[in-house]
Structure 1
């Protein structure tokens, strides 16, 4: 789990300690410091992460290029490297962010 003192800010790169998942913080809550995990293991700042094995085996649970949000949509992460672990925020699974509907072009 990320340290309670770990402040999430947009642009921060995080890496999983149990799989090859890497994310960038797009939006972070200003009023709290959530705990981010992937596959049950902590997410750590990417520069300090040890390289994880490449994905191979089970199908990826986090998909490159997809955005994930917490239940209140106050935290948003962009996946930059797929992995087999699922993202969670404070123990609650994060969900794939839905695409916004485009206006009709008549």
Structure 2
């Protein structure tokens, strides 16, 4: 997994772009299947409902004490949570801008 790579789900229509991938050694998953390169072709086999998953335009992230940092941006909504190493990714919170007077 590398920065700028587009990944798509094999079980729903979801797609993401990798924003940050520090110390990543496993696959990002949804619906129990790893996401694959979006350029690989093929079409997903819809087995996960899209209303319970990741939302378009949102950033999802995972960070832990071992130095692993993963951040993706959703370009097509999909079903099921995004999972890395058995842990679900959480919605990234917007950073506050400094006040200007």
Residue number in structure 1 paired with 2:40? 48
Unaligned runs of 5+ in 1: 1-7
Query: CA offset at residue 34 of structure 1?
Result: 2.7
Would you tell me which structure has more strand in proportion to its own residues?
A: 2
Is 1:66 the counterpart of 2:58? The answer is yes
Whether contact under 8 Å (1:68, 1:77) holds in the other structure is yes
Whether contact under 8 Å (2:14, 2:79) holds in the other structure is yes
| Aligned mate of 1:20, from 10, 13, 19 | 13
TM-score by length of 2: 0.82
Is 1:97 the counterpart of 2:85? The answer is no
SS of aligned partner of 1:26: strand
CA distance, structure 1, for counterparts of residue 8 and residue 57 of structure 2: 15
Is 1:9 the counterpart of 2:10? The answer is no
Q: Deviations over 1:14-42 (max 9, x none)?
A: 1111111101111111x442321012211
TM-score by length of 1: 0.78
Residue number in structure 1 paired with 2:27? 35
Aligned residues: 96
Q: Deviations over 1:45-99 (max 9, x none)?
A: 1111422368xx6514111111110133711111010011210111110000011
Unaligned runs of 5+ in 2: none
SS of aligned partner of 1:59: helix
| Aligned mate of 2:81, from 77, 86, 97 | 86
